[in-house]
A and B are shown apart, each in its own frame.
With several copies, the nearest count.
Chain A
Amino acid sequence: MKILVQREAFDLGAEVAAMSQGRTDIGAVASFVGLARDMNEGSGVQAMTLEHYPGMTEKALAALVDEANARWPLLDTTVIHRIGRLLPGDPIVLVVVASQHRGEAFAASEFIMDYLKTRAPFWKKEETLQGERWVEARASDDAAAARWIEP
């Protein structure tokens, strides 16, 4: 498991290569990159700043990955989330999951993103032509996370 919170950009190819380097038991690697868009809630976004809760963030991300490992037989997981000021087109978050078969890698990467969106203490503030605004939590993210609650 590799979990990082950093200002710097990450390198998707390098992270996937590091995970699979020298291994011959991995059959599937699912990855997700979330990027800053130039548009949100119908208005232009010129930049955004990501704030987080140092200390809790790393714990929350580790807890998400632990839960994914409890649900699926995964071989390795990397989560990197950036903080600080980002421009449209900049990558924000990376999730990489390796497993023997593709079903687990797909499910776990989507699960981690859905839970990250509702449980990891990051907050986005957007700069628009109308000024700054804090991004509001989305009902659709709560709904996405709720899909994973086991009966």
Chain B
Amino acid sequence: MKLRVLYFARLRERFGVAEESLDFSGATAADLIGQLQARGGVWAEELASGRAFRVAVNQEIVTLDAVFPEHAEIAIFPPVTGG
């Protein structure tokens, strides 16, 4: 399926992309993270297991076992630091 993926803050800067559309054949957030890690470089580095990042599906933070619905808006970002 097609996914729209947004990146914010430090991850947006490191990846050099704020938003992309990608083909995704997996099912879960963990599958997407694996697909992005396979790009190597900063992708492998920032999304390595043990690194702190968050995944949101349709604007709600989820755990890595979350299954993506069709046409989902996915976002990947660092732990939040507002307030």
Contact = CB atoms under 8 A, between A and B. Distances in A.
CB–CB under 8 A between A and B in the complex? yes
Interface of A: 34, 50-53, 55-56, 59-60, 81, 92-93, 113, 116-125, 134-138
Interface of B: 6, 8-10, 13, 52, 56, 59-61, 75, 77-83
B8 A53 contact: yes
Nearest to B75: A53
7 closest A-B pairs (Cβ-Cβ)? A122-B82, A137-B79, A123-B9, A56-B59, A134-B10, A135-B81, A117-B83
A51 B59 contact: no
Contacts of A55: 59
Contact of B80 (A93, A113, A122): A122
A25 to B, nearest CB: 18
A137 B52 contact: yes
Given A117-B82, A120-B83, A121-B80, 11 more contacts: A56-B75, A119-B80, A120-B82, A121-B8, A122-B81, A123-B8, A123-B77, A123-B80, A123-B81, A134-B13, A137-B79
B82 A116 contact: yes
A123 B54 CA distance: 13
Contacts of B80: 117-123, 137
10 contacts: A56-B59, A56-B60, A59-B59, A81-B83, A92-B82, A92-B83, A118-B79, A121-B75, A121-B77, A134-B81
Chain B CB count within 10 A is highest, among A55, A56, A125, for: A56
Chain A CB count within 10 A is highest, among B8, B13, B77, B83, for: B83
